Amino acid sequence: MRQNPGYIPSTSSPAMPDLPQIAPRDKAEILAQALPYIRKFHGKTMVIKYGGNAMTDPELQADFAEDVVLLKLVGMNPVVVHGGGPQIEQALNRLGKKGEFVQGMRVTDAETMEVVEWVLAGEVQQDIVGFIHKAGGRAVGLTGRDGGLIRAKKLKMMDNKDPSKEHDVGQVGDIVEIDPGVVRALLEDNFIPVVSPIGFGDENESYNINADVVASKLAEVLRAEKLVLLTNTPGVLDKDGKLLTDLTAREIDALFADGTISGGMLPKISGALNAAKSGVNSVHIIDGRVPHSMLLEILTEQAYGTMIRSH
């Protein structure tokens, strides 16, 4: 069982200690504690879904890039899948176009799809690649088209209340198949792949796909050691708002059944659960508003989020 530090972060990030203020002996202790985890996960693949405040706060962006580069330098294989909802919304607003949602899913007509592509595969992806390069890493941006990575089809969205009714949400995609060859080739060549969640169909049409779904499916196909989902919440909370740090797939099923997990967390946890049931050893849902939360979760005993174990 992991140790829970007993905090629930607020919307403003708690400050982490400034490393220069830590005594040399304590620094050595921190590094020594990380060593077993570095050894255990050496050569293993980590798929990281990057979203929320961690993507829009410049300090957190730099922290995230440093964390990814450090994982690579100590011998792990990080793969980044990013979202970009707020950035897409800003771009649509600049064009005088209002975003429309059905059951939490963005309606993506042809014009919106163009905006999604240039925001995700252009602005957002290149920002992430740039931050990783600045932190000393080597990153390559990909979309689902590159190397035939993500084949998709139009998502059929049935009405929540009336299953006989179907909503047309435009060019929103459902994953048909992931071919991870291009990602594996980049990892073998010591690059950090940065994947935009855009798929392509049989007629070469583009599809906007939920980034949590892409990250979860990619983790399955790559047989990743871990799937890490950065969010704007501390993790999975019980009905009293207490952080649940350590859950099995079976316990997650029970939380679905009694309504503890609902709303916006449903697609995130559903994908995470499928990954855990399909061979990914552990899934971590962590608060991206906490500086270096990814390192704290992967390289220490302390629980800084929710870990879902495959068994």
List residues forming the annotated binding site for substrate.
84-85, 106, 208
Q: What angle do CA 136, 140, 145 make, to 5 degrees?
A: 165
Q: Is 260 left (phi over 0), alpha (psi -120 to 50) or beta?
A: alpha
Q: Give yes or no for a contact between 58 and 64, defined as CB atoms under 8 angstroms apart.
A: no
- Among residues 190, 84, 90, the alpha carbon closest in space to that of 132 is found at 190
Q: Encoding tokens for residue 35?
A: 């060593």
End-to-end CA distance of the chain: 13
DSSP string for residues in 32-55: HHHHHHHHHTTT-EEEEEE-GGGG
CA–CA separation, 38 and 157 (whole Å): 42
**Which parts of 74-180 fold into alpha helices (H)?**
85-94, 110-117, 125-134
The one-letter amino acid at 44: K
Residues belonging to the binding site are 84-85, 106, 208
Q: Encoding tokens for residue 193?
A: 């792949």
Q: Is 107 exposed, middle or buried (0-12, 13-18, 19+ CB in 10 A)?
A: middle
Rounded-to-10 torsion of CA 287, 289, 292, 295: 10
Q: Give yes or no for a contact between 79 and 195, defined as CB atoms under 8 angstroms apart.
A: yes
